[in-house]
Amino acid sequence: MRTWLTSFLVVAFMVGCSEAGWRAEGQRAAPKDMSSTPLIPRDVLFGNPDRASPQISPDGSKMAYRAEVNGVMNVWVGPLDNPAAARPVTKDKKRGIRMYGWAYNNSHILYIQDKDGDENWHLYATDLKTNETRDLTPIDGVQARFQQGSYKFPNEMLIGINDRVPELHDIYRINIQSGERKLILQNEGYLGFTTDDDFNVRLAAKITPDGGNELYKPTDGGKDWTLFMKISRDDLMTTGPAGFDKTGKTLYMRDSVGRNTAALVAYNMETDERRMLASNPRVDVGGVMAHPTEKTIEAVSFTYTRREWKILDDSIKADLDYLKTVADGDALVTSRTLDDKHWIVVYVMDNGPVRYYHYDRAAGKAKFLFSNRKALEGLPLANMHPVVIKSRDGLDMVSYLSLPVWMDQNDDGRPDKPVPMVLSVHGGPWGRDSWGYSSIDQWLANRGYAVLSVNFRGSTGFGKSFVNAADMEWGRKMHDDLIDAVNWAIKQKITRPGRVAIMGGSFGGYATLVGVTFTPDVFACGVDIVGPSNLITLLQSIPPYWKPMLDVFTTRVGDHRTEEGRKLLTERSPLTFVDRIRKPLLIGQGANDPRVKQAEADQIVKAMEEKNIPVAYVLFPDEGHGFARPENRLAFNAVTEAFLAQHLGGRYEPIGDDFEGSSITVPKGAEQVPGLTKALRRTSGKTESGKKGG
């Protein structure tokens, strides 16, 4: 399998590139002022890419990629030596295929799809010979999870399905060609499993009441389990299994036991010996490059402000040295044939489209395939500047700043004079922002805003002390970090007090609601996308298949099952302090969101309405945790752009036709956004409720 259909060992590789070889159009001169800077159309930034996600078949004969069919992203397949001859093989007509991969049999494309964002993923297999697609998990209301693919069993794969008990995924062996499914392990209470290339279940994980993790080995032919390893709560986020070597005797692990950052170690399952492969004192181990079949570790990455790689196997050194000369940006190997003779290499920049190459290792040459968004080429795109901001208690927060190009003529990461700013807060919170092209950052910078993305405490990749510093600090020190970042930007004269918006999705949406309630005078306005407003109802309504990890949430956010925990969660919930909202708020929500239910948006909108506090509420009936359909992304961003322009003073592209094909409804507050009511009526005759008006 490739990309998402992969084990830990078939992974990507990134290297910094030098100044030689093929290059972009050269350093673009910054426009002299805003009027000479073109307004980049939203559909260029947020519409479907031209072509994306190319992957080579395991035998190297064919290449697949994603591209539109009648406006919907599908998978195309053609000969590796003639990608122009590719044809569409899948037939999705609504949401578009976002994650796919090759089966090891070279004759099937595998992909997952849910229904309107409900995250009840089904696994589909498209037969390239018959052009027929089969649902391999045809059970309504359940979720399929990829477990393991192996070149040793090219027509089969392991899948987890929660069809017996909604909270637990049993492991099935599925025949890709026939759809035949065989139960190989019934889950009796485990969070998940680690398997190997021989399709053996090797380890089971169970979260402990204190928020730690226990790993178990199967005994007595899998009828019983024996404790193998205990992982403390402090190490939970930075320690765990990552896959096996070719022999199955060595377990690769991310391991922070006895140290702050996660190293990559090789653990001998027979002798209990641990051998350090790579570590970094500042950051956790990130990506890993390994041979497709030999499973030897070739290189590992570490990302502080930018990704850096450490080569462990000299057999790939010449390849990587050559790839540095091919193009600008960071090179990412995303697909490899089983014989390792052909690679797909992706070049990523912060101010241009992604470029894809086919690298023939035997010939030692890389051939340009295509870029993902040709319309971006030649546009005045902003650079992303890494900065490190100190929190008030001394933590280093790796952050990224993008500026309007006309306000940063010398490209030093400081505007010629203060500009309005959007504080962009990532979700998770157990994730991180990284360097690279971002449609959101480019869009906002082009509209005249500084964009600051902050890796606040709780962000991953910076060691266990940094991630654990967020425990029980939702709405407290985590929010202090964001305020410290705003104060830093003001002190650096990037922006001015009262000219900052806060925006984010999921946890970033929660942070937005915290911003407008806990610190109502700091932000000029807020944009909350699928963010929880009440932490108690959030934890009470998690999807059933998240329940095996409930103790992770209760020990890091707060325990809704105890009186003391409910008191803490109430104090950290924006809904409790609705009466403090004094600045404009825009809320976006998907009706089918299984993680942050629609009720999280509904209840704060209702509370604001009862207190006569204005709010604009945008709801999509065919979306879940975020907006997958490009028509809906364009619609919401059109609303957001007008909203920000009204309250921060940036420029904006009129809504125009950006509601066409979207399911957008505005249950409350259309009048709060310039042009929104008119656009709704012009597009489909909808009233605020989303129903046809007379």
Catalytic residues: 506, 593, 625
C-beta of residue 316 within 8 angstroms of C-beta of residue 326: no
Whether the CB-CB separation of 145 and 169 falls below 8 Å is answered with yes
Supply 138's token pair.
């045809």
Residues ≥6 apart with Cβ < 8 Å to 378: 25, 28
Provide the b/e sequence for 432-470 (b: ≥16 CB within 10 Å). bbbbbbbbbbbbbbbbbbbbbbbbbbbbbbbbbebbbbb
3-state secondary structure of 263: strand
Q: Which residues have CB under 8 Å from 563's CB, separation 6+?
A: none
Report whether the peptide linkage leading into residue 429 is cis, meaning its omega lies within 30 degrees of zero.
Answer: yes
Bridge partner residues of 346 (DSSP): 332, 356
Classify residue 612 by burial, with Cβ atoms within 10 Å: 0-12, 13-18, 19+. exposed
Q: Using alpha carbons only, what angle is made at residue 341 by residues 339 and 347, rounded to the nearest 5 degrees?
A: 125
**Angstrom distance (rounded) from CA 387 to CA 488:** 11
DSSP 8-state code for residue 574: G
Q: Is 251 helix (H, G, I), strand (E, B) or coil?
A: strand
Give 125-157 as a DSSP string: EEETTT--EEESS--TT--EEEEEE-TTSTTEE
Q: What's 391-407 look like in SS3? A: CCCCCEEEEEEECCHHH
Distance CA 689, CA 80 (A): 50
Q: How many helices (H) and strands (E) does the chain have?
A: 12, 37
Look up residue 305 and give its amino acid.
Answer: T
In whole angstroms, how far apart are CA 211 and each of 42, 232, 457? 43, 8, 18
Cα separation, 542 vs 411, whole angstroms? 45
Q: What is the largest CA-CA distance in the chain?
A: 76
Element holding 48 (H helix, E strand):
none
- For residues 495 and 419, the answer to whether their CB atoms sit within 8 Å is yes
Residue 294 near residue 336 (C-beta atoms within 8 A): no
Count the neighbouring beta carbons within 10 Å of the beta carbon of residue 237.
Answer: 25
Q: CA-CA distance, 647 to 635, in Å (whole number)?
A: 19
Q: What are phi and psi of 509, to 5 degrees?
A: -70, -40
DSSP of 306-366: SEEEEE--GGGHHHHHHHTTT-SSEEEEEEE-TTS-EEEEEEE-SSS--EEEEEETTTTEE
Q: Which residues pair with 381 in a beta bridge?
A: none
CA distances from 500 to 306, 416, 486, 508, 648 (A): 26, 17, 8, 15, 7
Place of tokens 């930007």: 489
Rounded Cα distance between 280 and 454, Å, is 22
Token pair recorded at residue 370: 């295509």
Q: At 623, list the tokens.
A: 């979306």
